[in-house]
Chains A and B, each alone.
Chain A
C-alpha cells in the first residue's frame, strides 16, 4: 500500500474540519462540518469551492496535434476555436471508454486536457503511445479549483472580470490577485461556474481568498457526487467503463457530427467501427436516469427488474438528491425499456421500490451560454 498523495490544499482541508478519505490514491475531503446536504444546497444557491487538484492536467503540443488526437477522441478538435473546450471520451480499440475528459484547444498546436484522477497514469501512457511525435507536459505543479453555483459569476466579476465574458466551455489566461491562472467556464455540477488552474505554490492563497467571501463554502466529494448525479452527469468507473460504448452510455452528444457516418471526418478513431455501428443499429442496453418512489435511496449495485420480476439491469449510480429532495439514480436497462416514463422496480434490501425512467438532468442546468 503506497502512501496517499496530498493535494496542495490538504492542510487547508484539515484546518476547515474536513473528513478526509482515500480517493483515487489521494487523501481527499469527503465533507466539511456543513455536511453533504448543506454543502450540496449551498453550492446550488450560492458558491461552492471544490479542490479538484487530484485530477490530471496535461498539455500536448505539436504541429497538427488536433488531427493526431482525433485518432483517439471522437470529436472534431480541428473545429474548436482557440480557448474553446469540450467534454469527450477516450475510446479504446473495441469502442469502450477508457476515460472521460475535458479537452481545450489553446491554439492550433496546443491542447490542454483534464482527466480523471484514477485514470491519469493510464490515460497519459495511452496518449503517449499513440502520439509519439508530440510533446507532453504533465502539469504536476498545477492545482485545480472549481468554483460553482448560482452566484459564482458575480464573485468572478470581482476576481477576474475577463472570465465573466466567457460562455460555457470557453477559457482564458488571466490573473487573480496577481496569481497567473487559466480559467474555464465549466464544471461538473450542472451549475454555472469556473475551473481555475493555478500553480500549486499559490493554490492555498487562492483558496483562502475565495473562502474569504461569505457566499463561498468548501464542498467535499460527497456533495460533488450528489450534485453531478442530479445534473445527470456520468461518473467514470461507475456509469461507464472499458466495456461500455459511448452510445450505450447515452453520450452520443459528445461525438461530433463530422465524426459520425456521413460526416467529413467519419470514423478514424479507436473503436469507431463499434461506435458507428452502435449509432446505426442501435444498442441493446442504454444508460438512463431513474426517479424513485418514496424516500429510500437506490444505490449503485441495486438490481432493476421488470413487472414480471425478471432482472433487466442494474443501478450504476444512485443516492439522495438534496435539491429535488428525493432519491435519484442512473443505470442500464434494455433499449426497449429505456423510454422516459417506463415503470420498473429496483430491489433494495429485498424490497421492491418502484422507479420510473426519467429524462436527465434531474435539475435544470444553469450553464451560461451567452
Chain B
C-alpha cells in the first residue's frame, strides 16, 4: 500500500484519511508527528467501538506530552494498527504509511465536505 498525499484528505486536527469506499484509514500528518516529538506509547481503541465525529479514539504519548487522535468522521473501528504497540516510533518514521492508527467503517451519510485536500491542508499549516 503506497499512500499518496494527493489521494488523502486532511483535518484541522492534523489527521489524514484515506477513504476507500465506505472505509477510511486514519493517521496523523508529518506536521503533527513533528510537533509531537518522539512517540513512546500509543493507546488504541478496540475493534468494534463506535465513535461520533470528534470523539477521542486513541492516545499518543510522546517524550514531550500526551496527544489524542479524534474520530475525523463518525463510524465504527474495524481495524487497528497492532504494530504500534511494539513500535510506536512508526508514527514518527512513517506517519503517512506504516504509522496509521485505525480503519473506520464510516457511518452512512457522513459529511465529507469539511475535509481538506492536500493543497488546502498545506495552506492551513502554512499559517
Contacts and interface: CB of A to CB of B under 8 A. Distances in A.
Interface string B36-75: 0110110100000000000000010111101000000000
A62 interface: no
B91 to A, nearest CB: 13
A268 interface: no
A201 interface: no
Interface of B (DSSP majority class):
strand
B64 A222 contact: yes
Interface residues of B, number: 12
A294 B62 CA distance: 14
B66 A35 contact: no
Nearest to A326: B40
Interface residues of A, number: 18
B88 A295 contact: yes
A222 B63 contact: yes
Contact of A222 (B37, B40, B59, B88): B37
Given A222-B64, A297-B66, A31 B37 contact: yes
Nearest to B35: A19
Contacts of A320: 40-41, 61-63
B63 A319 contact: yes
Contacts of B63: 36-37, 40, 222, 226, 297, 319-320, 322
B43 A36 contact: no
A36 B61 contact: no
B37 A296 contact: no
A296 B61 contact: yes
A349 interface: yes
Contact of A36 (B37, B41, B59, B66): B37
A36 B38 contact: yes
Nearest to B86: A295
A220 to B, nearest CB: 11
Interface in A116-161: none
B50 to A, nearest CB: 19
A370 to B, nearest CB: 34
Given A297-B40, A349-B59, A36 B64 contact: yes
A226 B40 CA distance: 13
Contacts of A299: 66
A18 to B, nearest CB: 13
A35 B38 CA distance: 7
Contacts of B43: 296
A191 B62 CA distance: 24
A38 B43 CA distance: 23
B38 A37 contact: yes
Nearest to B92: A35
Contacts of A37: 37-38, 40, 63
Nearest to A321: B63
A296 B40 CA distance: 8
Nearest to B59: A349
Nearest to A296: B41
Contacts of B88: 295
Nearest to B85: A295
A295 B64 contact: no
A297 B61 contact: yes
Nearest to A33: B34
Interface string A16-44: 00000000000000010001111010000
Interface of A: 31, 35-38, 40, 222, 226, 294-297, 299, 319-320, 322, 327, 349
20 contacts: A31-B37, A31-B64, A35-B37, A35-B38, A36-B37, A36-B38, A36-B63, A36-B64, A37-B40, A37-B63, A40-B63, A226-B63, A295-B41, A296-B43, A297-B40, A297-B41, A297-B66, A299-B66, A319-B63, A349-B66
Interface of B: 37-38, 40-41, 43, 59, 61-64, 66, 88
Given A40-B63, A322-B38, A327-B40, 12 more contacts: A31-B64, A37-B38, A37-B40, A222-B37, A294-B41, A295-B61, A295-B88, A297-B40, A297-B41, A297-B66, A320-B40, A320-B62
- Which 9 residue pairs are nearest across A and B when measured between Cβ atoms? A37-B38, A295-B41, A320-B40, A36-B63, A320-B63, A297-B61, A296-B41, A37-B63, A35-B38
